[in-house]
Structure 1
């Protein structure tokens, strides 16, 4: 991440990149982002869905809460200025830049069971975001150190995913609102464990039936 890009996002600072990685479609991704660090997710090819969970990196029983995040801000979608609250009422991260416009808080993660109900017997594989989460919890050293298991999967954020809510309260998985190169950027307000499933869904039109890679960056910065 160049200093020029950091300045464009509003940080008058010199940046030190600590993570710059690609996560392929269908793969999980786990990292600790320390308090004060900046975390950016880039939708490389557009209209991908990035299912994301956040945990207190020291105690995974404190984790992102969709209920607290929606209720405290009286907003269903996330964008610049949104604060991500934990189940203990603490701010975990703040969205400081967003070129997509809004991100879903209620659609949840696809599972093999829900995929079968929604799409029936399709020719495409039914690998799911919940499967990716479970794989990471079972194999990632940090998750293992925190004794995490399937009981630790709450409702997640779907970055870049478009899930309109009707006046009657119904959900509709619609065409995406993102595009190639769109990004969302967050400042960690505590040490957080980030758990991502880069959605593998081949049967959902939200990503034009073409799940794609994402780029993930974390950097430190110091005031000039």
Structure 2
């Protein structure tokens, strides 16, 4: 995949949150600055905030439990928010959920408030998403199942889930190409199944750029018939979208 020159770069420290409206054709490359990074991710249609990332449909239509290069991230309207065009890891968690206050207590991670430590506080993924979503008039009822980039959760024969702690080395990256305008909210709080004794703070580097539009030979488009239909849904959406 040929990506145009990177237009913007920043670093998001561990335990922090961020959001941005990205245009169709934009790319976002996330790179783990430390081993064991986790990035919680949600997506919304900025023109209709009721449309948001739907992981059950994403997994069902692509017949997978994990997400990696060649897979698309679907909205609940059957459209494709973004495609995974590059990936060093081969597995990103789609079922592990989001860190909340109950997880913090159960793990014995000592909560540290903003009043105590300013930006060095210990934040939950749940609260991080709420802070970012509030900027766009969204709240708790608008939370959906989130993707956990860089993390791996496996299931045994009995269906029990377990976290793979050494899955993500420092320097591993994943790149998303956005197939429609998308409001992206993310955080770098730990995965709820992370077994670390203390609250881990592992940041990521963010690089934003652009990529050529996909065609039927694209790795994500050609991955399965369902993805081809998803791109067709996007094409119809953009024909009707206001200019």
For normalisation by structure 2, the TM-score amounts to: 0.77
2:185 equivalent to 1:220: no
Structure-to-structure mapping, 1:144-159, within 5 angstroms: 147-159=137-149
State the distance in 2 between where 1:22 and 1:211 align.
13
For residues 27-85 of structure 1, give each alpha carbon's deviation from its aligned partner in whole angstroms, at most 9, with x where no partner exists.
11001111011111111112111111111121121111110001000101010001111
Contact 1:161 1:206 in 2 (8 A): no
Distance 1:76 1:195 in 2: 22
1:22 aligns with 2:11: yes
CA offset digits 1:196-224 (Å, max 9, x no partner): 0111579933698532111111112569x
Task: Pick from 179, 196, 202 the counterpart of residue 169 of structure 2.
Answer: 179
Q: CA RMSD in A?
A: 2.3
Alignment of 1:50-199 (within 5 A): 50-116=39-105, 118-119=106-107, 121-123=108-110, 125=112, 127-138=123-134, 140=135, 143=136, 147-199=137-189
Question: Using the alignment, how far apart are the partners of 1:67 and 1:36 within structure 2?
Answer: 25
User: Under a length normalisation based on structure 1, what TM-score does the superposition of the two structures give?
Assistant: 0.83
Aligned length: 204
| Partner-residue secondary structure (3-state), 1:176 | coil
Residue matched to 1:38 = 27
Q: Is the 8 A contact 2:104 2:110 kept in 1?
A: no
Structure 2: distance between partners of 1:206 and 1:162? 15
1:174/1:205 contact within 8 Å kept: no
Shift in alpha-carbon separation, 1:25–1:108, aligned structure 2, 3 A? same
Residue 221 of structure 2 is matched in structure 1 by none
* Distance in 1 of aligned mates of 2:109 and 2:148: 23
Is the contact between residue 98 and residue 125 of structure 2 (CA under 8 Å) also seen in structure 1?
A: yes
CA contact (8 A) 1:202 1:211 kept: no
Structure 2: runs of 5 or more not aligned: 113-121, 214-243
